[in-house]
Copies of this chain bind each other. A is one copy, B any other.
Amino acid sequence: MEKEVRLREVGPRDGLQNEQAWINTEDKINLINALGETGLPYIEMTSFVHPKWIPALADASEVVKGIKRRPGVTYGALVPNEKGLERALEAGIDEVSVFISASETHNQKNINKTIDETFPVLKNVIDVAKKEGKTVRGYVSTVFGCPYEGEINQSLLVRTVEQLMEMGVDELSLGDTIGVATPNRVKDVLSLLDFVPIDQIALHFHDTKGMAVANVVAGLEKGVIAFDGSVGGLGGCPYAPGAAGNVATEDLLYLFQGLGLHTGVDMDALLDCAMFVQGKLHKTLPSHNLQAKMGAGGERL
């Protein structure tokens, strides 16, 4: 039997929250519905962070209420606190995503709380979510480097991950928020965090320095089976220098297909989703496989 890997589609949340253009609620719903048809097992639909902070996702409830659920797909959303969780539960979600940063400075800038002040907030959210029968995804951002601090304090990272696991996080998503990791660092961090069952770890790479696919291979070599991607490489754009999105889900799919790994995801259907959202954004998305499909390619030596 083919080895299986799990693609986690975070484009409608992590991608769109970083796009300047407003996408109509109906288009978001159409995108999520189409993504559901590709065979993806997980789709992060939106964020219930206060619209003041992320206006692009101000229609979170309408989106969640508007989509057509495909059986077997887990539909998640990002939730910052109990207030956000209430809205998310009212709208109807399968899985709750909480987030914290491995860097004290990044956490404070992002959430306006210290890491220690963040733990009880997450614990409350997770406790309520679990009582409501929801699974929980825990994002740790800036795991491989911080835009303010540079190097990450390894013991603080370990403590943060320990706390999340103790709170009952079902899947831990380790984020290279600023896209600085290289494969050796990925392996080092996975070794450092080897107290987490490997099938509960997901890797989440932004492609700022072009290392994301190589870092995914490093994760595979360490036994990781879940990887976050963003359809079209949403959230980054070659027209907006320096704004690097998540690695494109279809680039990950190309890798996994080449490696003979089973994902259950249909490439053509996924590329259609990427093309759809690219059309709505009126810009060229960074996905290699999307651009290869759209272009002629041409002969080269």
Contacts and interface: CB of A to CB of B under 8 A. Distances in A.
Interface of A: 14, 17-18, 78, 99, 106, 109-110, 139, 141, 147, 175, 177-179, 181-185, 206-211, 213-214, 216-218, 235, 238-244, 247-248, 251, 254-255, 258-260, 284, 286-289, 291-301
A11 to B, nearest CB: 13
A23 to B, nearest CB: 18
A209 B295 contact: no
Contact of A211 (B208, B254, B286): B254
B242 A297 contact: yes
Contacts of A244: 288, 291-292, 297
A286 B238 contact: yes
A161 to B, nearest CB: 17
A214 B251 CA distance: 12
A232 to B, nearest CB: 12
Nearest to A237: B238
Closest 8 CB pairs of A and B: A242-B295, A182-B258, A210-B288, A241-B295, A238-B238, A210-B251, A241-B294, A214-B214
A178 B298 CA distance: 8
A57 to B, nearest CB: 12
A259 B289 contact: no
Given A182-B255, A211-B255, A240-B295, 6 more contacts: A14-B300, A183-B255, A206-B300, A214-B255, A242-B297, A244-B297
A47 to B, nearest CB: 9
A242 B178 contact: no
A298 B259 contact: no
Contacts of A184: 258-260
Contacts of A182: 254-255, 258-259
Given A208-B297, A258-B211, A292 B242 contact: yes
B183 A294 contact: no
Contact of A217 (B177, B217, B292, B293): B217
Nearest to A258: B182
A255 B109 CA distance: 29
Nearest to A248: B210
B209 A243 contact: no
Which of A141, A207, A217, A294 lies at the interface centre, i.e. has the most chain B CB atoms within 10 A of its CB?
A: A217
B243 A297 contact: yes
23 contacts: A14-B301, A141-B300, A175-B301, A178-B300, A182-B254, A184-B258, A208-B292, A210-B213, A210-B287, A210-B289, A211-B213, A211-B258, A213-B214, A214-B217, A214-B255, A238-B238, A238-B284, A241-B294, A242-B292, A242-B296, A242-B297, A244-B288, A244-B291
